[in-house]
Amino acid sequence: MEVRIAEETPAILADYEKVSIAFRVETAFRVELLSDGLAGVKLIEERVEKPFIKDYDVYEKPTHWAERFDLSNWGFLSAFDGEKRIGAAAIALKTPQIFMLEGRDDLTCLWDLRVAPEYRGKGIGNQLFAYALNWAKKRNCRLFKVETQNINVPACRFYARQGCHLGAFNLYAYPESLKEIQLVWYRNL
């Protein structure tokens, strides 16, 4: 399979969101604070009581991003197998409405990364991530940031394999009903 990565515009977001981001949650990381956090943290993978499907698009679809954000400084990447869109990534840069960017012009955030379920585990995510890093470097960014959650163990392992390190976590970032913990990954460029 020969995969082609293309940089696109926000005009393609209706097609972009057709690539499913949903995944099955069977395990999650429990965040254990060592000495109330003074001695660090430990991530412990545990089976969830009842496996479930998590779909981030339920909360906000990519076609709605423009309602909240100025997308003029964003990068939109798509992975194609022939003419079929099999993956996509969105990179946010210089967007004041994005708190994760901390008001910095040298920091970019991987806002979204998705690979069609039947193509997962075939290196598509690696290619999109590498392209996103190069996109950020060309714009003089020094730091690359990614948010995920403790329930997305495959994503956490993926970002660690890409050379990211866990730089922050927030036990209180989301409504208590979600029972999720924010994990923020960083990679120096």
Q: What is the pTM of this model?
A: 0.95
- Over residues 169-184, the pLDDT tens digits come to 999 999 998 999 999 9
Answer yes or no: is pLDDT of 1 > 90.
Answer: no
The torsion of the CA quartet 42, 48, 54, 60, rounded to 10 degrees, works out to -50
> What's the token pair of residue 175?
């409504």
User: How many domains are contained in the chain?
Assistant: 1
**CATH code at 157?**
3.40.630.30
- Please write the tens of the pLDDT for every residue from 131-162: 999 999 999 999 999 999 999 999 999 999 99
The domain containing residue 27 runs over which residues?
A: 3-188
